[in-house]
A and B are shown apart, each in its own frame.
Chain A
Amino acid sequence: MEKHITLPLTEELAKSLKAGDIVYLTGTIYTSRDAGHKRMCETLAKGEPLPFDPQDATIYYVGPTPAKPGQVIGSAGPTTSGRMDAYAPTMMRVGARGMIGKGARLPEVVEAMKQYSGVYFGAIGGAGALLAKCIKKCELIAYEDLGAEALRKLYVEEMPLFVIIDSEGNNLYESGRQEYLAQRG
């Protein structure tokens, strides 16, 4: 189903999304990848607050190219999510239930998604030029020393995404392929 949704990703909204839905997402999201997640989880372990409020937040796994003069952001497609699997359950535990990336997730991430009503969205890997066009605002909020991996706050409009894994654990990577193979017979 095609859905136009506005963040924050409340529990109610998260539960209404189903694997296979095509979603156009509008609202504020945060960027982070390997090094940023490591730092955020270390911060939480020390009992300190994150640089942003994680409640109902959505994190985009991306390390954009530098913005050219006049651009909001450079090319900004998703990175492989599996590298954030070690950190994702911790992030969901503090409320950040939305994740945007590409590629497979570990069973422990899916379990955490079921527990905390998480949603894993897929952005098209390799479509960095196209996805950058949906990003209307970009603000560096922390970890500037990490360069492309710094923590950024983005405002996106109608960002085209697919629900890959929903809050019940249904997985488009499994169902999409099975459907295709069944159809082909």
Chain B
Amino acid sequence: MRELQVSAITDVVERLCIEANTYLPGDVKCAIETCRACEDSAIAQGVLDKIIENYNIADKENVPICQDTGMACVFLEIGQDVHLVGGDLREAVDEGVRRGYGKGYLRKSVVGDPVRRGNTGDNTPAMLYTEIVPGENVKITVGPKGFGSENMSAIRMFKPSAGLQGIKDFILEAVETAGPNPCPPMVIGVGIGGTFDKAALLAKKALMRPLDTHHPDPFYADLEEEMLEKVNALGIGPQGFGGKTTAIGLNIETLPTHIAGMPCAININCHVTRHKTEVL
């Protein structure tokens, strides 16, 4: 049994909050640059050029890529042979978020109550997801999530008879409805299967997966490619001004489900798809 101080998790969460909000992942940059090279309308090219210039400024000047530095989604994969000591884990994660958003001059965008509102002032609480896995490491991923895009997400409980076509239509419908609101080009996370809640979680996890990877099952890997192409054929384009690049990536995650259902969740993200991982 390995002992790990929760304060070590606080330190990593603090750092990852700042780094994720400042430096766009290489796979996301690469996808944007590839799309820029394919665009032929002047307005779409102009928008993508500015987006590239923007993340280069963030890199060079160590400033947030986007002013919506999001809710801090924190994923912990905790090895079952790790014993966490020295305090409350949830408190340790929130402390990391509090420090990261304070020291990093990140925007505090969390309200303490969904209906009565009121900013918590320090971007806590984190949206914390924990999973117990084999081994004695703790893998920490911080994915700040902006709400311009989160608000355009959707979930539907399909009858199994809706089949693959039902899912395909739903993806296109969600992107069409989102239109220019989620700062296209978007990244689209699709979760299929599980229960109502698990489908949504799969969709969020799909957004954390690098854009140059595919679902391990060739059936879904092909579906990812086909749907990315279909989404881009909609012509919404960068910022919704028309063009080839409506989305720079579409990832699908799946789970077994019940004989009576086929849940499908679509989590929309923007070109500022941020996540950073570290293993302790």
**Could you say which of A10-18, A42-50, A77-85, A86-94 contacts chain B?**
A77-85
List A contacts of B54 (CB < 8 A). Answer: 124, 126-130
**Could you say which of A51-59, A106-114, A136-144, A174-182 contacts chain B?**
A174-182
Which B residues, 239 to 274, have Cβ-Cβ distances below 8 Å to chain A? Answer: 239-244, 270-272
Q: Assuming the A-B contacts A80-B148, A177-B242, are A124 and B108 also in contact, with contact meaning beta carbons closer than 8 angstroms in the complex?
A: no
Alpha-carbon distance between A178 and B180 when the two chains are bound, in angstroms: 14
Q: Of the candidates A67, A102, A148, A183, which one forms a contact with B180 in the assembled complex, judged by CB atoms under 8 Å apart? A: A102
**Which of chain A's residues has its CB closest to B48's CB?**
A124
Highest count of chain A CB atoms <10 Å: which of B43, B181, B235, B242? B242
User: Is residue B106 within 8 Å, beta carbon to beta carbon, of the partner chain?
Assistant: yes
A74 with B108: CB separation less than 8 A:
no
Q: Assuming the A-B contacts A102-B181, A122-B239, A178-B242, are A128 and B148 also in contact, with contact meaning beta carbons closer than 8 angstroms in the complex?
A: no
Q: Assuming the A-B contacts A67-B105, A126-B54, A128-B54, are A173 and B179 also in contact, with contact meaning beta carbons closer than 8 angstroms in the complex?
A: yes
Which A residues, 11 to 48, have Cβ-Cβ distances below 8 Å to chain B? Answer: 20, 22
**Could you say which of B57-65, B73-81, B128-136, B207-215 contacts chain A?**
B57-65
B179 with A75: CB separation less than 8 A:
no
Q: Of the candidates A74, A133, A181, which one forms a contact with B64 in the assembled complex, judged by CB atoms under 8 Å apart? A: A74
A125 with B53: CB separation less than 8 A:
no
A126 with B65: CB separation less than 8 A:
yes
A128 with B64: CB separation less than 8 A:
yes
List A contacts of B105 (CB < 8 A). Answer: 65-68, 74
**Which of chain B's residues has its CB closest to A183's CB?**
B41
**Which of chain A's residues has its CB closest to B236's CB?**
A177
Alpha-carbon distance between A129 and B68 when the two chains are bound, in angstroms: 11
User: Is residue A154 within 8 Å, beta carbon to beta carbon, of the partner chain?
Assistant: no
Alpha-carbon distance between A82 and B244 when the two chains are bound, in angstroms: 25
**Which of chain B's residues has its CB closest to A184's CB?**
B235
User: Is residue B116 within 8 Å, beta carbon to beta carbon, of the partner chain?
Assistant: no
User: Is residue A118 within 8 Å, beta carbon to beta carbon, of the partner chain?
Assistant: no
Q: Assuming the A-B contacts A80-B148, A104-B181, A181-B235, are A128 and B65 also in contact, with contact meaning beta carbons closer than 8 angstroms in the complex?
A: yes
User: Is residue A64 within 8 Å, beta carbon to beta carbon, of the partner chain?
Assistant: yes
B67 with A76: CB separation less than 8 A:
yes
Alpha-carbon distance between A67 and B57 when the two chains are bound, in angstroms: 15
List A contacts of B58 (CB < 8 A). Answer: 75, 129
Nearest Cβ in chain A — how far from B71, in angstroms? Answer: 14
Mark A residues whose CB is within 8 Å of B.
20, 22, 62-68, 71, 74-77, 79-80, 82, 102-104, 122, 124-130, 132-133, 147-148, 160, 162, 172-173, 175-181, 183-184
Mark B residues whose CB is within 8 Å of A.
41, 43-44, 46-47, 50-51, 53-55, 57-58, 61, 63-69, 105-109, 119, 121, 148, 151, 179-181, 183, 235-237, 239-244, 270-272
